[in-house]
Structure 1
Amino acid sequence: MSKTRSRRTSKLPTARSMAPTGNQAADYGARIQEADAPPGATYWKIVGVRHLSPDENRGKHNIYIDAIDEAGQRVRNPDLRIAYTWEGRRDDEPAPPRPLDKPDNEPAGNLDVYKGQVVTAWLQGDGLPSDRVAGLHTDHDDEPASDGGNGNTRFHHSFHVLFQRAQKAAVPVVTDGGQSRPEPAPPPTPAPTQPGVLVPEQWVGVVTATQLNLRQGPGTEHVQIGSLFQGTPVTVTGRVGEWLNVLANGQQGFVHGQWVQRARPGAGEGVTASAGSYAPPADQRITLPPGASAEMGAAAETWNNYGGLLLQHAAELGIDPGVAVAVLVAESRGKPYGPDGRMIIRFENHIFYHYWGKANEARFRQHFTFDPNTTWQGHQWRAGPNSAWQPCHANQAVEWQVFEFARSLDEQAAMYAISMGAPQVMGFNHRAIGYDTVQQMFHDFQADVRNQIASLFRFMRVNGLVDAVRQGDYGTFARVYNGPGQADYYAGLIRQYRAAFDGVRSTAARTLAPAQAAAAPMPSAAAPAPSQAEAGPALDAAWRNQISQGFEQNQTLFRRTMEETMNPQWLRQVLEDHLMLVSGLYLIYNEYWTRLSYLTDPATAPAQLSAITQETLAQVQSWFSRRHTGVG
């Protein structure tokens, strides 16, 4: 910035002598986007935007920024920065925030504006919301100076923006008649919903207000991220109370439902698939029997919600959809979005350090920390350099708080550092899953769970993991998907949830679709493999002993069950009790034999066999104890 600054900048009025002027540069494309702050809150208000005259500018191409307090005095805060971006900004184009550190005879800070850029700028760093000035560019006609010298020429125009710390007034709403009035009380919702819970909806609507705020979350307390205008088509994907989650003009956000009307059928809009199309066929849905474990419940819920999508993508790769169920449950318990409608994320401090902290070491250390030996652990943060350290991963509200703070420092690096949605794909993988920018990935993941699930299968394909998944090699999968540091941990989780899912899904769901069978390549002919007894005598002996014991235990339990159920206990309640006993035992043993089927390593199989058996026997004993004591 300093290379474009000269002593001519002293001709600009200083912040102390300037009065609010409003937007005087609208004819040059400047527009003000108001900060999303509740009434009475302190924020940075843009009170003046000017296009510099030829005599003031003298051929430069800058945006000059001043910040004043409530009394009109220049604000000197070393943490305060000018944040900015521009339309079409690429991933490899940095936009480091600029300080407000110039002397009193100059504007406090400035930005260069280059040919072709259309810039948006705002203030950040002190925790206050800020108005944004948008649409600033230099592609304007020549304007000679009064002395005939160098004034404003094409691509050499400048602006001055004045921010003032202020209290937020009541927010007006622009109605169809063009008059501003206080925002009306929202009407009752068409269908009551639990506060703060995103209820899926799928329909196409049209904006009816002259101008409608698009917000980051469902409420006026959330940041405004854009504006929609009358007649703009929107795709509604969900509802939180009176607020609609919409996709419009490539942006995902929330608008008040009062100002969106359903589009008339036949108008040519492409209506997206209904939420019900995500589910599996009715005959493949899972009904949990009594006694199902929490792992089984999570796997069944994920399948019942998104099994249709999983079947489709699994068929394309020729893999069992149960693997995808296991990955989704291991990563996020199968949850794509939180109760507030925002997608599930996890902010990784060490990744943010890699993409931003290395170049900003001192600033990073003021706000973030992690264990240097096990970098995925010890994640803490604080908003101020003297604040107490707080854990980053307490809940989703904190994850988003940390992410938004990091985003104010560098949006791209912050998005690279989060894992997103149900599959928890890291932002830095955006190109691998088909997105040119991480911002596109972020918006698509927020827009629809379909995009999240598709990315999981795309990741498998482009990273050569399909064969590993087909062979049940979850260690290889986890090393690529989760990183080598926690590969064993995540591989174990995937096996656990795969076994839980196989233990509860129906025979119909267990069968691969015809497309899946066709997609799987036929193995080449090979010499007959040695028998298990030849390849691993110890494992074979352990298997035979275990199977024998299993049959004996099954027979004992069957006799015990028959003795109890055949006694003259004819009351309905007693018979129902016995039915629950049999169902519970079925679940336990089904899961037991499923887990045994995944034992493939002769070296570890005997120990694993013993551990699994002991766990199963403990489950059986617990089930009988609960039945006889009446617990549960």
Structure 2
Amino acid sequence: MSEILRKGDIGQRVADLQADLRRAGYAVERTAIYDDRTRAAVAALQAAAGLVVDGVYGPKSRVALADFDVSSLLKESDLIAAAERLGVPLASIKAVNEVESRGRGFLPDGRPVILFERHVFWKQLVAHGVDPTQYGERPAILSRQRGGYAGGAAEYVRLAYAMQIHAPAAQEAASWGSFQIMGYHWKALDFADIESFVATQHRSEGDQLATFTAFVLADAALHRALKAKKWAQFARLYNGPAYAENLYDIKLARAYARFAGETQEAG
């Protein structure tokens, strides 16, 4: 069952949300239809909590409605700062955040989401002057081929085993946070070392977005594509040649058009 509710959805889960919103002081009727008034109430909840305002009810809005701590979650102000730093419309950053991020930058236990890449670990060992072949057959963490993923918190088990071989190379071989930035980019992004990079990803989703922003600024072609709203080029550079299989460019274009339209309506 999806954790996300948005305009047009119907059913018991929408009715329950409307009841919760009413108890929290938002003027919505319990119609079981995610209508304009429900969307406006969710957007007001998000704005009051400082979260990204999109009117979509998901895990982060659920945290805010329960009045839990949202300090580590992505804020509307973080997106505004990224848009200003990159010199692009806020709608562009919101589109990229919706399509290219994992949605949440942290696991339920508070650690940043990661994905350990065994083939990158092989390359990073070589980069550190270490011969990977001396460690024999370890397909879970070390291979010339990609794969071996465990997902979720289990990725930290793979990372821990790899760190026993070579800690910096292992951390460089993982993608970190909402925007899946690979650790080996730490130097190009002006971090002092891989440990500083990793510590930053632990702080907040805002820091993860700032890392993504630095990543875009460090790649002139990627930055130009984002500024020009050339979504296919941006998706190809960011996701690789298989971007079209997942329709990333189409999703980005549609998300941008929707957020740009919302901005005009607000104005």
Q: 2:51 aligns with which of 266, 275, 279?
A: 279
- Size of the aligned set, in residue pairs, is 205
| Equivalent in the alignment of 1:313 | 82
Q: Any conservation in 1 of the 2:141–2:162 contact (CA below 8 Å)?
A: no
> Larger strand proportion, structure 1 or 2?
1
Secondary structure class of the residue paired with 1:346: strand
Secondary structure class of the residue paired with 1:472: coil
Residue 425 (str. 1) matches residue 197 (str. 2): no
Q: 1:481 aligns with which of 238, 243, 264?
A: 238
| Equivalent in the alignment of 1:455 | 211
| Equivalent in the alignment of 1:366 | 138
Q: Structure 2 counterpart of 1:327, which letter?
A: V
1:510, distance to aligned residue in structure 2 (A): 7.4
| Matches of 1:510 and 1:370, distance apart in 2 | 52
1:556-582 C-alpha deviation (Å, 9 max, x unpaired): xxxxxxxxxxxxxxxxxxxxxxxxxxx
| Matches of 1:366 and 1:317, distance apart in 2 | 41
1:101-154 C-alpha deviation (Å, 9 max, x unpaired): xxxxxxxxxxxxxxxxxxxxxxxxxxxxxxxxxxxxxxxxxxxxxxxxxxxxxx
| Equivalent in the alignment of 1:413 | 169
Q: Structure 2 counterpart of 1:336, which letter?
A: G
Q: Structure 2 counterpart of 1:493, which letter?
A: Y
1:451, distance to aligned residue in structure 2 (A): 1.5
Residue 466 (str. 1) matches residue 234 (str. 2): no
| Matches of 2:109 and 2:182, distance apart in 1 | 21
Q: Percent identity?
A: 21
Larger relative contact order (Cα-Cα within 8 Å, sequence gap ≥ 6) = 2
1:412, distance to aligned residue in structure 2 (A): 0.5
Q: Any conservation in 1 of the 2:102–2:179 contact (CA below 8 Å)?
A: no
Q: Any conservation in 1 of the 2:113–2:177 contact (CA below 8 Å)?
A: yes
| Matches of 2:138 and 2:54, distance apart in 1 | 50
| Equivalent in the alignment of 1:340 | 109
Instruction: Give structure 1 stretches of 5+ with no counterpart.
Output: 1-274, 289-296, 381-391, 513-632
TM-score computed with the length of structure 2 as normaliser? 0.64
| Equivalent in the alignment of 1:327 | 96
Distance 1:416 1:398, change over 3 A: same
Q: Any conservation in 2 of the 1:326–1:495 contact (CA below 8 Å)?
A: no
| Matches of 1:365 and 1:426, distance apart in 2 | 24
| Equivalent in the alignment of 1:222 | none
1:599-629 C-alpha deviation (Å, 9 max, x unpaired): xxxxxxxxxxxxxxxxxxxxxxxxxxxxxxx
Instruction: Give structure 2 stretches of 5+ with no counterpart.
Output: 1-46, 62-72
1:456, distance to aligned residue in structure 2 (A): 1.3
Q: 2:121 aligns with which of 352, 357, 379?
A: 352
Q: Any conservation in 1 of the 2:114–2:177 contact (CA below 8 Å)?
A: yes
Q: Structure 1 counterpart of 2:54, which letter?
A: I
| Matches of 2:133 and 2:78, distance apart in 1 | 43
| Matches of 1:505 and 1:454, distance apart in 2 | 22
Q: Any conservation in 2 of the 1:322–1:498 contact (CA below 8 Å)?
A: no
Q: Any conservation in 2 of the 1:325–1:498 contact (CA below 8 Å)?
A: no
Q: Structure 2 counterpart of 1:306, which letter?
A: K
| Matches of 1:319 and 1:351, distance apart in 2 | 32
Secondary structure class of the residue paired with 1:368: coil
1:369, distance to aligned residue in structure 2 (A): 6.8
| Equivalent in the alignment of 2:262 | 507
Q: Structure 1 counterpart of 2:215, which letter?
A: F
| Matches of 2:189 and 2:115, distance apart in 1 | 19
Secondary structure class of the residue paired with 2:104: coil
1:488, distance to aligned residue in structure 2 (A): 3.5
| Matches of 2:74 and 2:193, distance apart in 1 | 29
Q: Any conservation in 2 of the 1:286–1:505 contact (CA below 8 Å)?
A: no
Distance 1:494 1:435, change over 3 A: farther
| Matches of 1:434 and 1:276, distance apart in 2 | 34
Secondary structure class of the residue paired with 2:200: helix
1:248-273 C-alpha deviation (Å, 9 max, x unpaired): xxxxxxxxxxxxxxxxxxxxxxxxxx
TM-score computed with the length of structure 1 as normaliser? 0.29
Q: Any conservation in 2 of the 1:349–1:417 contact (CA below 8 Å)?
A: yes
Distance 1:279 1:348, change over 3 A: same
- 1:285-296 to 2 correspondences below 5 Å: 285-288=53-56
Distance 1:348 1:277, change over 3 A: same
- 1:177-256 to 2 correspondences below 5 Å: none
- 1:98-113 to 2 correspondences below 5 Å: none
> Larger helix proportion, structure 1 or 2?
2
Larger Rg: 1
Q: Any conservation in 2 of the 1:417–1:427 contact (CA below 8 Å)?
A: yes
